[in-house]
C-alpha cells in the first residue's frame, strides 16, 4: 500500500543529506578548502543536481521504477555491470550509515562527557545503539518510518536554517564574514567538493522507494529538484557562519562539534545546546532515511537476482527484514572499526563513480529521452570525472594510511562482486531490458 506523499519524499531526501554533511563531513571539507568551504559545497551541490536531473530523466525512460542498476539493465542489458553497480551502492550506503552514526556518537559523547561503559568507549556503544533503534523502526513498516522522518527533518532544517542565516548576519554585522576569495582559484575547493560528495547522496535513495508513494514519478521528481538546492543552501550558510566565527585550527581539531562552538559565539549556551540536540536529530534522521531506502533498494536487487534470495524474507509491513538486519550489523561494525576519514572517502568515491556513470548513461540515451537538456548530464560527467582522481590524490598526499585503507576496501568490494557474478547467475535476466 502506498502511504507516502511529497512531504515524506522531501523529508527523506533531506534526511539523507543534511545529517551527514553538516555534522560529520563538514569538518573534513573545511580542513581541505579552508574559508572557501562554501564554494566547495556549491560545486558539489551543482554536480549532484546534474546527476539528479540525469536520474529523473532515466527514471522517465525506463519501464520499471528503480535506480542505477535498473537503468543499466533496461538500457544496456548487462546484468553483471548492473549487479556490480548495485553492490557498490550498497556498500556506499553502509558507509554512509556508519558515518552518520559516528557523528551522532561524537555529539552525544561531547554533550554528556566522555564517559565509558563497561570499559568500552561511549561513542562506540552509542553508534551501535542508534543503528539498532532504527533497525527496529524500519521493521515496523514504511508509514511509521516516513512519519518519523517528517518530524526529524522539520526540526533539523529549522534549527540549521536559524543557525546558518542568523550566524551569517552576526558575522556580517560584526565585520567577520569571510569568503576565502584567495582560495577560489586553487584546486583545494574542488578537492573538498569531491570529499563532500557523500553529503549529497540522500536524494537518490528515493528511486528505490517508489512503490511506497502515491504518485512516485511526480513526487520524487519534485523532491529531488527541491531537496538538493535546499541542502546546498544550508551547507553554504553554515560554512559561512562556522569559518567566519571560528579559527580553522579549532574546526580541524573537533570537526564533528565545530557548529556547537560556533553557536556559542552568537546564540549562547542555550543556543549551542539546541544545536547539539539538532545534531542528534539530524544524524539519527540520516540513519533512518538511508536504512529505510537501502532496504528497499536491496529488495529490488533480490527481485532481479542481483543479491542472494535468502535475504528476501519480508516482515508484515512488506519490509525485507533480513536485509535490514544485515545492513544494520555491517553499518555498526563499520562505525566501530572505521575512521571518519576512511568512511567519508570510500562512500564519496562510490557515489562519485555511480553518479558519473548515470550522467553518462543519460547522455548516451539522449536520443531516446524526451526534452533532455544535454549540457546538464555532460556537466555531471565532467565534474565526477574530475572529482574521482582528485580525491584519490588528496588522500595519498595528506593521509597515505587512509588512502591504502580505502584502496583495500575497494579491492575487497570489487573482488566480492566479481566472485559472485563470475558464474553469471544473472544470465537469464540480462535480456529482459532489451
Beta bridge partners of residue 4, listed in sequence order: 213
**How many angstroms separate the CA atoms of 410 and 408, rounded?**
5
What pTM, to 2 d.p., does this model score?
0.82
161-170 confidence digits (pLDDT tens) = 888 899 899 9
DSSP result, 331-371: HHHHHHHS-HHHHHHHHHHHHHHHHHHHHHHHHHTTTTSTT
- Are 102 and 94 contacting, i.e. CB atoms less than 8 angstroms apart? no
| Radius of gyration for the alpha carbons in the chain, expressed in angstroms and rounded | 20
User: Helix (H, G, I), strand (E, B), or coil: what is residue 186?
Assistant: coil
What's the mean pLDDT in 167-186? 87
83 burial (CB, 10 Å; 0-12 / 13-18 / 19+) is buried
42-77 confidence digits (pLDDT tens) = 999 999 999 999 999 998 888 776 788 888 888 887
- Check residue 114 and give its pLDDT: 45
Query: Is pLDDT of 359 > 90?
Result: yes
Residue 60 to residues 8, 204, 211, 320, 362: CA-CA distances in angstroms? 21, 14, 15, 26, 11
102-137 confidence digits (pLDDT tens) = 778 777 777 765 444 444 555 566 667 767 776 776
13-25 confidence digits (pLDDT tens) = 887 787 666 777 7
**How many angstroms separate the CA atoms of 161 and 152, rounded?**
14
**How many angstroms separate the CA atoms of 333 and 330, rounded?**
5
Q: Could you say which DSSP state residue 1 is in?
A: -
Amino acid at each position: 500500500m502506498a502511504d507516502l506523499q511529497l512531504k515524506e519524499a522531501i523529508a527523506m531526501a533531506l534526511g539523507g543529506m543534511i545529517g551527514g554533511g553538516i555534522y560529520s563531513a563538514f569538518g573534513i571539507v573545511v580542513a581541505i578548502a579552508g574559508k572557501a568551504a562554501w564554494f566547495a559545497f556549491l560545486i558539489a551541490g551543482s554536480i549532484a543536481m546534474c546527476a539528479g536531473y540525469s536520474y529523473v530523466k532515466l527514471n522517465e525512460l525506463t519501464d520499471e521504477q528503480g535506480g542505477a542498476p535498473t537503468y543499466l539493465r533496461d538500457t544496456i542489458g548487462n546484468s553483471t555491470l548492473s549487479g556490480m553497480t548495485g553492490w557498490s551502492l550498497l556498500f556506499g550506503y553502509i558507509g554512509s550509515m556508519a558515518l552518520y552514526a559516528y557523528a551522532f556518537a561524537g555529539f552525544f559523547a561531547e554533550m554528556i562527557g566522555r564517559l565509558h561503559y563497561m570499559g568500552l568507549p561511549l561513542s562506540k556503544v552509542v553508534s551501535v545503539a542508534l543503528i539498532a533503534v532504527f533497525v527496529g523502526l524500519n521493521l515496523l513498516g514504511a508509514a511509521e518510518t516516513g512519519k518519523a522522518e517528517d518530524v526529524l527533518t522539520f526540526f533539523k532544517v529549522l534549527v540549521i536554517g536559524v543557525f546558518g542565516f542568523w550566524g551569517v548576519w552576526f558575522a556580517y554585522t560584526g565585520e567577520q564574514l569571510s569568503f576565502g576569495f584567495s582560495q577560489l582559484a586553487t584546486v583545494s575547493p574542488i578537492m573538498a567538493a569531491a570529499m563532500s560528495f557523500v553529503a549529497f547522496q540522500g536524494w537518490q535513495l528515493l528511486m528505490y522507494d517508489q512503490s511506497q508513494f502515491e504518485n512516485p514519478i511526480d513526487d520524487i521528481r519534485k523532491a529531488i529538484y527541491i531537496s538538493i538546492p535546499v541542502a546546498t543552501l544550508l551547507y553554504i550558510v553554515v560554512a559561512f557562519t562556522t569559518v567566519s566565527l571560528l579559527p580553522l585550527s579549532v574546526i580541524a581539531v573537533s570537526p564533528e562539534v565545530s557548529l556547537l562552538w560556533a553557536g556559542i559565539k552568537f546564540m549562547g549556551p542555550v543556543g549551542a545546546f539546541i544545536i547539539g540536540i539538532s545534531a542528534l536529530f539530524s544524524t539519527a534522521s540520516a540513519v533512518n532515511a538511508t536504512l529505510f531506502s537501502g532496504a528497499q533498494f536491496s529488495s529490488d536487487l533480490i527481485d532481479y537476482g542481483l543479491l542472494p534470495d535468502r535475504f528476501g524474507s519480508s516482515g508484515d509491513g512488506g519490509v525485507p527484514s533480513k536485509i535490514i538486519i544485515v545492513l544494520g550489523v555491517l553499518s555498526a561494525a563499520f562505525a566501530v572499526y572505521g575512521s571518519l576519514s576512511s568512511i567519508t572517502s570510500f562512500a564519496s568515491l562510490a557515489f562519485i563513480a555511480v553518479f558519473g556513470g548515470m550522467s553518462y548513461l543519460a547522455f548516451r540515451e539522449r536520443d531516446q529521452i524526451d526534452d533532455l537538456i544535454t549540457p546538464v548530464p555532460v556537466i555531471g560527467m565532467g565534474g565526477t570525472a574530475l572529482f574521482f582522481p582528485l580525491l584519490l590524490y588528496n588522500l595519498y598526499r595528506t593521509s597515505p594510511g587512509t588512502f591504502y585503507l580505502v584502496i583495500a576496501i575497494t579491492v575487497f568490494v570489487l573482488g566480492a562482486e566479481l566472485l559472485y557474478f563470475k558464474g553469471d547467475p544473472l544470465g537469464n535476466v540480462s535480456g529482459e531490458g532489451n
